[in-house]
Amino acid sequence: MYHVAVIGATGAVGQKMLQVLKELDFPVGQLSAYASERSAGKVVSFNGTDVTITALSEDIIHHGIDVALFAAGGAISEQYAPLLAEHGTLVVDNSSAFRMQETIPLVVPEVNPEAVSSTNRLIANPNCSTIQSVVALAPLKHLGFERITYTTYQAVSGSGQKGIEDLARGSRGEEPVNYPHPIHDNILPHIDVFLEDGYTKEEQKMIDETRKIFNQPNLPVSATCVRVPVTNSHSVAINVTFSNETTVEAIRTALADAPGVVLVDDVSRNQYPMPLDASGTDEVYVGRIRQDQTLANTFHLWCVADNIRKGAASNAVQVARHALENGIHS
């Protein structure tokens, strides 16, 4: 049993981490919860027990923590994650702070568990949309990826509680606070800040992280990321070109047997993945599989997953379990 800490325990992802630790039967002997000074003294629930929030400080290194799950943003991660890792704690960080650092593994357990070695104390959790996309694509890697294009349809919960509140505000005819335009009855082709080339930071994350996870640094990848008025669960349209010839049926067969994937692809019965199906689960739902009519050996896939669970909290817990089972922390 381990002393587990959740950093950012009052946020949407931190709260979900507490829930998932219990649901996935993670070997928690002691649970500590950390957040900012303004949240210190508040109480969160874990496994039916109230846990008092502790203000995060460098004193955390003296608390005997075996596993730390970070869900508090990049600035906090940059300050405290390496510090804990240096003192022997296994750290899984949900921010983007360390994802593209060459010496830090970026891990989705169903896709690249081999990226974790016995010396890794700090492991990065990928972007939510990247996670579900690579889970859908990994069973097809043997076909050889020549190019990948993503179009995302991302729920407001990806912005945390403030995104959910903006959707509710719009339904009442109020102006948005979080987004630059109303999200109710609207869509925004804008997630994170715009870069000089016209892509957003969110789009660049998907591009860079896909290349790193599949260990193909020169793989042509492109993305368009869109915020939609859905409360929870992201959807991604994937267009992928393979170097080896295949068929729709072969793709379906590969996905049907893949870990972490649920195949939902029977359009004759109007069966395809939807956010309502994925919310509250840890699987990635894949369907609408069809051959592209314009490009050789190119196929379309549609995947949906709970962005707070598999896209963040559950993947982090699964990464920690994999690391512990493979002797990273003893």
Question: How confident is the model over 58-62, as a mean pLDDT?
Answer: 89
Inform me whether the pLDDT recorded for 133 exceeds 90: yes
In SS3 terms, 209-259 reads as HHHHHCCCCCCCEEEEEEECCCCCCEEEEEEEEECCCCCHHHHHHHHHCCC
Q: List, for residues 198-228, the tens digit of each pLDDT value.
A: 999 999 999 999 999 999 999 999 999 999 9
Closest CA to 17 of 270, 282, 224, 268: 282
Inform me whether the pLDDT recorded for 329 exceeds 60: no
DSSP 298: E
Confirm whether residue 227 is marked as ligand binding. Answer: yes
Confirm whether residue 12 is marked as ligand binding. Answer: yes
Percent of the chain with pLDDT over 90: 88
Closest CA to 98 of 86, 113, 112, 81: 81
Please state, in angstroms and rounded to a whole number, the distance separating the CA atoms of residues 108 and 112.
6
Confirm whether residue 10 is marked as ligand binding. Answer: yes
- All domains in the chain, ordered by first residue: 2-126+312-325 (3.40.50.720), 130-306 (3.30.360.10)
Please state, in angstroms and rounded to a whole number, the distance separating the CA atoms of residues 265 and 316.
28
Inform me whether the pLDDT recorded for 13 exceeds 90: yes
Q: What's the pLDDT score for residue 248?
A: 98
Closest CA to 71 of 48, 109, 44: 44
Confirm whether residue 13 is marked as ligand binding. Answer: yes
The lowest-confidence range among 36-50, 120-134, 230-244 is 36-50
Residues 6+ apart with CB under 8 A from 136: 236, 238, 255, 261, 284, 286, 301, 303
DSSP 75: H
Confirm whether residue 99 is marked as ligand binding. Answer: yes
Q: List, for residues 275-316, the tens digit of each pLDDT value.
A: 999 999 999 999 999 999 999 999 999 999 999 999 999 999
Residues 175/168, Cβ–Cβ less than 8 Å: no
User: Confidence class of residue 36 from pLDDT cuts 50, 70 and 90?
Assistant: confident
The 10 Å Cβ neighbour count of residue 212 is 22
Helix (H, G, I), strand (E, B) or coil at 290: strand
Structure tokens at 301: 């896939």
Confirm whether residue 38 is marked as ligand binding. Answer: yes
What integer best gives the mean pLDDT of the chain? 95
pTM of the full structure: 0.95
So which residues are the catalytic ones?
Answer: 128, 234
For helices 201-213 and 128-137, the axis angle rounded to 10 degrees is 40
Confirm whether residue 158 is marked as ligand binding. Answer: yes
Inform me whether the pLDDT recorded for 330 exceeds 50: no
Amino acid type, 120: N
Please state, in angstroms and rounded to a whole number, the distance separating the CA atoms of residues 134 and 106.
12
Q: List, for residues 75-99, the tens digit of each pLDDT value.
A: 999 999 999 999 999 999 999 999 9
Please state, in angstroms and rounded to a whole number, the distance separating the CA atoms of residues 193 and 273.
29
Q: List, for residues 152-189, the tens digit of each pLDDT value.
A: 999 999 999 999 999 999 999 999 999 999 999 999 99
Residues 6+ apart with CB under 8 A from 79: none
Percent of the chain with pLDDT over 70: 99
Q: What's the pLDDT score for residue 211?
A: 98
Residues 6+ apart with CB under 8 A from 43: 50, 51, 52, 53
